[in-house]
Amino acid sequence: MSVRDDHELETGDEYALSTAADRTRFTLHNKADGMIAELHGDDAARFLKDYDELKLQYPDWNADRLLAQLWDQGGYGWLAQQEE
């Protein structure tokens, strides 16, 4: 499966999140910094758990606030690389 087969889950002015149809791979994009975190395997499983918990805990958060929390506090920004 290629990145083109991914489905957008969340999008905001600063961040975007897409996933494979089976949710085994996620792409977290920090638009402002031009950075992308490709999450798969154990990282994807941990991300899905964190994402689902935040969505339940803060249902009113917009995409940028939710994804910024995951990027910064969740530590997923550390896995990011410069966008090509």
Separation of alpha carbons 4 and 53, rounded Å: 27
pLDDT at 72 over 90: yes
Residue 36 in tokens: 């992308």
pTM, rounded to two decimals: 0.89
**Over pLDDT 90: what percentage of the chain?**
87
pLDDT at 26 over 70: yes
Mean pLDDT, the chain, integer:
93
Per-residue pLDDT of 38-68, as tens digits, reads 999 999 999 999 999 999 999 999 999 999 9
Residue type present at position 51: Y
pLDDT at 18 over 60: yes
